[in-house]
Amino acid sequence: MCDYSLELVASRPAKVGDKLISTGFPNSVSRGFASLDDLNVAVCLAPGTELAFEEEVTCDAGIVFSRRLSHKVASFRQIDTNKPNRHHDALEFPDGKIVLLTCLCKGQRATVLQLPKTSVNVGVVEPAGALRVKA
């Protein structure tokens, strides 16, 4: 997903193998991910998307300082979705720590490892006149 504050930014859904970079976008105070191929397009992650970072993830801890989280993998989540006009896009790390995407330091590179399973209604095609037995 892309946070509400990125609604005015061109975007596309993530694909397995995408090479991403954490960045800011024009006309937005939010940070998110863009493809290394096109830094002006936000890459939207679905909840459950798994990422592998090139280095340990760092996030802003104030105006001047940042902190290293000691992890290189994370899963995308949305938090506090019942609270409008707040950032919802976040990463969950193996130790359970959750960090908003907008708090990530810019310039961190990651690869999309896996997209979440989606529930798809698959119709069953039966031959004409076939009898379906309930279990």
Domain ranges across the chain:
4-114
**Distance set, CA 45 to CA 27, 36, 39, 48, 53 (Å):** 20, 15, 16, 8, 15
Q: For the segment 86-127, what is each residue's pLDDT rounded down to a tens digit?
A: 888 999 999 999 999 988 999 999 999 999 987 444 444 444
Q: For the segment 12-69, what is each residue's pLDDT rounded down to a tens digit?
A: 999 999 999 999 888 777 889 999 999 989 999 999 999 999 999 998 876 655 677 8
Contact 73, 44 (CB under 8 A): no
- End-to-end CA, the chain: 39
Q: Determine the length of the chain.
A: 135
The rounded distance, in Å, linking the Cα atoms of 130 and 127 is: 6
Question: Secondary structure of the chain: what % helix, strand, coil (to 5)?
Answer: 5, 40, 60
